[in-house]
A = this chain, B = another copy of it.
């Protein structure tokens, strides 16, 4: 049985792994920042999780969930998203209120509870934020994602991943204040060179190149 804290580390690792499917590893500082603890603390816990064979970890190396660790992390994510759905759908919580309480509820230990809750909610596929809810067996509806370059004029989409993971590209994204989840509206497509005019979040219109648009994964349904 995992402690509350151990569960949070696994969940953080799973989340970080989603941010870059090609390289689902994380660093110690990254983990620590995500969990609101100091890097030293994360190091300690990673050693412990390694002992339990939940993560692959080596000194100064990148961190990766093992199959077992991933499975457990997905179970927690499943609970989190089901509870969010419950709060939103049944108890009239607002979009931004659900997360905090679900953070607590996700640690309740009872398989029966989770499965019954899912049934009670009518086997929902997505949570209030549009994120897919893993099934009891760990299956998770794969969300179709496309490249920004495929989006039609006037459509709004949300960033879900990057194709190119080079430093230059990532730094460019950072400069544009684009991260996972950022909404983008395609204002105009220029056929001549494949560039486009887009609106990032609530920023002013801005032009980006075809190369740029072909390296950013987005989805048309917020998640």
- Provide the residues of chain B in CB contact with A110, threshold 8 Å: 100-101, 104
- Provide the residues of chain B in CB contact with A100, threshold 8 Å: 110
Q: Which of A72-123 contact B (CB under 8 A)?
A: 87, 90-93, 97, 100-101, 104-105, 108-110, 112-113, 116-117, 120
Q: How far in angstroms is the closest Cβ of chain B from A2?
A: 14
Number of copies: 2
Determine the interface band of chain A, counting residues with CB < 8 A from chain B: 10 to 19
- Tell whether A104 pairs with B112 under 8 Å between CB atoms, given A90-B120, A91-B120, A117-B91: no
Closest B residue to A109 by beta carbon equals B104
A residues contacting B by CB (< 8 A) are 87, 90-93, 97, 100-101, 104-105, 108-110, 112-113, 116-117, 120
Interchain residue pairs with CB less than 8 A apart (17): A87-B113, A90-B120, A91-B113, A91-B117, A91-B120, A92-B116, A93-B112, A93-B116, A97-B112, A100-B110, A101-B110, A101-B112, A101-B113, A104-B108, A104-B109, A105-B105, A105-B108
